[in-house]
Amino acid sequence: MDMIELYTRILRELNEAVERMTSAEFDRLLRGATVEERQRAARQLLEVERARLVLGNAVLANIAQELKKNEKAFEKGIESLDAALERLDNVAKVLNTVSKVVSLVGRVVSLL
Amino acid sequence: MQADRSLASFAVGAFAPLSVALLTLVSTGCAARVTQFHDFAAAGVSYQKAADTALDDAGTAAIRANNANLVKARPNRAALPSTEREDDVIQHNGLLQKRLAILRDLRRHGRVLQRYFQALAAIAESKAPEAAAAAAGETFTALSSLSTTLKSSQAGAVVPPLTKLVVGSFKVRALEDELKQRADAIAAEIKLQEVLFKVVGDTLKTDLRVQLNTMETGQVIAPFAADAALPASWGTTRETFLKASASGESADAAVRAAAAMQEAFTALVQNRFDRAAFNSLLDDIGEVLTIAEQLAPAPGEE
């Protein structure tokens, strides 16, 4: 989790940087800049974007790995809940069958 | 023997109203607990659907923002050898493909969680207690036709509610046991979901902002500042940009929804998850879907 927190903080900085580099204000600044400065800015924009993707992937992959650890528990939970539901339905089914048998016995008794 | 039967019949008859009242009291408590489980499970299913949409949007937004950045940088990369520009695209393609694979994995995990919530809801929504009570009532009527003692007793009034309560208690017990057994996994899961959507929300917001920035500079400011006549769609494009940027903040909704799920889970464990909390939770989850609405028109598609 510490790694995730650290990466998240850096990712936030990179997000802010890319937002600034694509803003109307920055665009205006670049229009007044030299060719070299514009080329450097373009390279940096792509580098920041690349770093955002690399770091974002690392954070998300780490969280996905942590989440996967819970999956066995949930699969077990689903099995156990399905079994409980089946038991519940069986109680109703058994009572229903008993009711039908008793009703049949009642009809037979009345004929004797 | 006949006297004993009469006494038994009287006892059952006298007991019936009191027991029905007690059963009503106990079954109301059971029903309230089942409602809490039902609401939590329903919120869980809704949350997972909204989370799935947010993750899908996150992939789309990442591609669109990356497109915008590559296109923005391209004119100033023109002096470079074409192989370097090729590398730009290839590298970013690889990273985006990895991002989409991770998001797919997260969505697959979400489906496991959704199946879990659905299994919880299936028990909470089960009509087995009612069906069992009806069957027990029918059994009693059938038995009554065979026995004069039963025929004259009022036990028939007690049998179906008692059956409903017994089967209902089994239902609550099954849900309580499940909650106890899986409490740690559920708590860890929801906490991680909160962290996940903090990252996804932040990134989504930036991706959306990059698209809007590109839209503003390329389709709103540049045409207006140029000497040429304004395109006919300029006003509509500007309106889309202004409205979208005004509501961009709702990307935090997924984080709030995950935090609300955390609160709901604590309330459920402490037996105090009520309808008001449920409605508020659904509001938070519903907000996540507004992100999807904002991302629907890509810049330049209007």
Asked if residue B137 has pLDDT above 90, the reply is no
pLDDT-based confidence at residue B302 (cuts at 50, 70, 90): very low
Q: Which of A61, A74, A91 sits opposite B185 (nearest CB)?
A: A74
Q: What is the pLDDT of residue B5?
A: 47
pLDDT-based confidence at residue A1 (cuts at 50, 70, 90): low
What is the number of residues in chain B? 302
Contact check, Cβ <8 Å, A60/B92: no
Q: Which residue range is the domain that position A108 belongs to? A: 72-112
Task: Kindly report, residue by residue over B243-289, the tens digit of the pLDDT.
Answer: 875 444 445 677 788 888 888 888 888 878 888 878 877 877 777 76
Shortest Cα distance from B271 to chain A (angstroms)? 20
Burial A38-65 (b: 16+ CB within 10 A, else e): bbebbbebbebbbbbbbbbbbbbbbbbe
A111 and A95 in a common domain:
yes
Q: What is the pLDDT of residue A44?
A: 95
pLDDT-based confidence at residue A89 (cuts at 50, 70, 90): confident
A108 and A82 in a common domain:
yes
Shortest Cα distance from A73 to chain B (angstroms)? 7
Contact check, Cβ <8 Å, B126/A85: yes
Shortest Cα distance from B110 to chain A (angstroms)? 9
A91 and A63 in a common domain:
no
Say whether residue A24 is in contact with chain B using an 8 A CB cutoff: yes
How much of chain B, in percent, has pLDDT values that exceed 90?
A: 23
A43 and A54 in a common domain:
yes
A77 and A60 in a common domain:
no
Asked if residue B170 has pLDDT above 90, the reply is no
Distance between start and end Cα atoms, chain B? 91
Shortest Cα distance from B66 to chain A (angstroms)? 7
Q: What is the pLDDT of residue B131?
A: 83
Contact check, Cβ <8 Å, B106/A64: yes
A34 and A13 in a common domain:
yes
A86 and A52 in a common domain:
no
Contact check, Cβ <8 Å, B92/A57: no
Among residues B136, B168, B164, B188, the alpha carbon closest in space to that of B38 is found at B168
Q: Which residues of A touch B70 (CB under 8 A)?
A: 46
Contact check, Cβ <8 Å, A53/B217: no
Q: What is the pLDDT of residue A11?
A: 93
B98 sits in the region (left: phi over 0; alpha: psi -120 to 50; else beta) called alpha
Mean pLDDT over the full length of chain B: 80
Say whether residue A81 is in contact with chain B using an 8 A CB cutoff: yes
Q: What is the pLDDT of residue B11?
A: 46
CA distances A60 to A1, A4, B35, B48, Å, are 12, 9, 35, 17
Total of domains in chain A: 2
A31 and A78 in a common domain:
no
Q: Which residues of A touch B54 (CB under 8 A)?
A: none
Q: Please say whether the beta carbons of B273 and B267 come within 8 A.
A: yes
Q: What is the pLDDT of residue B8?
A: 44
A62 and A30 in a common domain:
yes
- Which tokens hold the place of A46? 């792509």
Contact check, Cβ <8 Å, A27/B221: yes
Q: Give the best-scoring range by mean pLDDT among A86-90, B26-30, B216-220.
A: B216-220
Torsion sign (Cα): B60, B64, B69, B74: positive
Contact check, Cβ <8 Å, A27/B217: yes
Q: What is the pLDDT of residue B299?
A: 46
A30 and A6 in a common domain:
yes
Contacting residues for B34 by C-beta, under 8 A, at least 6 apart: B124, B168, B171, B172, B175
Q: What is the pLDDT of residue A110?
A: 67
